[in-house]
Amino acid sequence: MLSIDRSIIDAIVAHARRDHPDEACGVVAGPVGSDTPTRHIPMDNAARSMTFYEFDSMEQLRVWREMDERDEEPVVIYHSHTATEAYPSRTDVSFAGEPGAHYLLVSTREPDTEEIRSFRIVDGVITEEPVKIVDAAVDPNAVQSYMFGQSPATVDYECSDR
Amino acid sequence: MAIEVRIPTILRSYTGGAKVVEGSGDTLADLIADLDSRHGGLKARLVTDAGVLHRFVNVYVNDEDVRFLGALDAKLNDGDSVTILPAVAGGAFGFAAAAAIASHAVSTRAAR
């Protein structure tokens, strides 16, 4: 389960919409071990592509060092799919290198609604998890929990090249 | 003096959980061989069977991406700090990603 503040989700969706039709990407950092995303860091998509994203390696070094200095870790790593569903591609699985992170995908293929889904990707195995949006600004107890259930919860892509 | 190497979470299973290890070598390839002698299996996660740096990791010497320093041939000196991070990349379509990876590999080779 990913619990994330509505203001952060709104910022991620705004970033994805801004960069559409290119894919947008970024990180939400949080205190080490807290599993709580608190600091939204939009990243450049160095690939500037509609079908591929890649962190700029120098920006990533800077951001990862900054998280280290602040005793933070990447709690959420997000990117958008701009013409397809919010489900990890084989490429996403091959590259998933943060076993502790929630991989959040936003699909902006529909102009009016966003599909937001979250996954764990460990050793090539995708496990979907519910997203709990917390409305901290209004009422910390007022939460909305949902998960899109149209695909199996676990898919094994058998990434033999890793 | 030795070379300090920062290990990302995903590779700490090879270093007994250590976040920072030390090694030595005149080039990045030498350093990786030295690390692999004490942390068996690490090399295979950094270098492909074809002998080039894996696409799934970024390696930095001090503040530079080694892809701009000659990749595995990058020269190292005592006191250098090497950082390994998982490359963060992906995207909707496998074929486009494969093309991007191929062009990256070409540009990496061209830079050497």
Question: The CATH number of the domain where A28 resides is what?
Answer: 3.40.140.10
ipTM score over 0.95, yes or no: no
Q: What is the tally of structural domains in chain A?
A: 1
The 10s digit of each residue's pLDDT in B26-51 is 999 999 999 999 999 999 999 999 99
The answer as to whether A70 is a domain residue is yes
Contact status of B96 with chain A (Cβ, < 8 Å): yes
Give the whole-angstrom CA distance, residue A156 versus residue B93: 18
Question: The CATH number of the domain where B88 resides is what?
Answer: 3.10.20.30
Residue of B nearest to A63 (CA): B85
The 10s digit of each residue's pLDDT in A76-107 is 999 999 999 999 998 899 889 998 999 999 99
The answer as to whether A140 is a domain residue is yes
Contact status of B105 with chain A (Cβ, < 8 Å): no
Closest CA to B87 of A96, A68, A32, A81: A96
List the domain range (segments joined by +) for residue B67: 3-110
The answer as to whether A114 is a domain residue is yes
The answer as to whether A87 is a domain residue is yes
Q: Choose, out of A32, A44, A51, the residue to mutate when testing the contact with B (most B CBs < 10 Å).
A: A51
Q: Give the nearest partner residue to B10 out of A55, A90, A99, using CB atoms.
A: A99
List the domain range (segments joined by +) for residue A139: 2-156
Give the whole-angstrom CA distance, residue A160 versus residue A124: 9
- A-B contacts (CB, under 8 Å): 101
The 10s digit of each residue's pLDDT in B47-74 is 999 999 998 899 999 999 999 999 999 9
The answer as to whether A162 is a domain residue is no
Q: What is the tally of structural domains in chain B?
A: 1
The answer as to whether A36 is a domain residue is yes
Contact A97 B87 (CB under 8 A): yes
